[in-house]
């Protein structure tokens, strides 16, 4: 069953703690993405990676970090430097080339207590 | 900054009616994509239209693209209660097709 998995579905964090969100895909896609969505808003790009061991900052990278050690995995760490981390986080992947759609995971809802 | 912007922000119609949503963007693109999101879920890809295409159909969906006006529309015909969701357009940039910009979405409510 091909697709993108994100875990956990819900995550609670105390202020000052780092937390890592998991994203795995078995679609053999080169490109992977992390987005943040706030209530009633659209998606904002945090980081994206076009190939293993390479990634680029999106529009709101401050307070976040990523790694891309394997093609199928793109974990996102929300650090204590992120001022307002409570949000819905979505991971996506996409095949190579300009005319491929993005496929999204089910999302992780992070709440900072 | 975000490139795609949808309007209206919210739309409420009766089942069986058509729903039209619009998207505007700012810079040249390679393609424009429409997605649906049910509350609290991930996004589902609906349709992709290339910059050299003017219209595309998929089932009850019809998408148009006017690159001269930098705008697109999504038409859902014969709407159903199950179409209730938020709809987003996403554009890439002609200089970087790996980076996408999403609008804030149109929230569609289809009343049974």
Distances B67 to A97, B91, B99, B106 between C-alpha atoms, Å: 20, 12, 19, 21
Distances A66 to A29, A57, B7 between C-alpha atoms, Å: 17, 10, 33
List own/partner pairs for A53-56 with CB under 8 A and 24 or more apart.
A56/B99
- pLDDT given for residue A2 in this prediction: 62
A105/B2 CB distance under 8 A: no
Q: Shortest Cα distance from A100 to chain B (angstroms)?
A: 8
CB proximity list for B94: less than 8 A, separation 6 or greater: B27, B28, B29, B30, B51
Give residue A1's pLDDT band: very low, low, confident or very high (50, 70, 90). low
Give residue B1's pLDDT band: very low, low, confident or very high (50, 70, 90). very low
- Higher pLDDT, residue A80 or B19: B19
Interval A22-48: pLDDT, tens: 999 999 999 999 999 998 888 999 999
Instruction: Of A41, A111, A104, give the one whose Cα is nearest residue A78.
Output: A111
At which residue do the structure tokens 């149109």 appear?
B106
B88/A105 CB distance under 8 A: no
Contact A23, A76 (CB under 8 A): yes
B45/A102 CB distance under 8 A: yes
Contact A104, A92 (CB under 8 A): yes
């Amino acid at each position: 069953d091909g697709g993108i998995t994100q875990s956990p579905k819900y995550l609670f964090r105390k202020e000052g703690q780092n937390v890592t969100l998991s994203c795995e895909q078995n679609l053999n896609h080169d490109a992977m993405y992390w987005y943040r969505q706030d209530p009633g808003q659209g998606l904002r790009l945090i980081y994206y990676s076009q190939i293993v061991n390479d990634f680029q900052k999106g529009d709101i990278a401050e307070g976040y970090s990523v790694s891309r050690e394997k093609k199928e995995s793109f974990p996102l760490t929300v650090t204590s430097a992120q001022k307002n981390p409570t949000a819905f986080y979505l991971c996506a992947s996409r095949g190579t080339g300009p005319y491929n759609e993005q496929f999204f995971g089910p999302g992780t809802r992070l709440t900072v207590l | 900054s975000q490139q795609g912007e949808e309007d209206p922000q919210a739309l409420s119609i009766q089942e069986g009616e058509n729903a039209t949503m619009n998207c505007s963007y700012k810079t040249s693109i390679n393609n424009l994509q429409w997605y649906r999101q049910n509350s609290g879920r991930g996004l589902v890809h609906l349709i992709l239209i290339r910059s050299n295409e003017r219209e595309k159909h998929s089932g009850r969906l019809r998408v148009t693209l006017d690159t001269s006006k930098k705008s697109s529309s999504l038409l859902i015909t014969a709407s159903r209660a199950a179409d209730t969701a938020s709809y987003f357009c996403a554009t890439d940039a002609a200089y970087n097709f790996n980076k996408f910009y999403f609008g804030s979405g149109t929230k569609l409510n289809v009343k049974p």
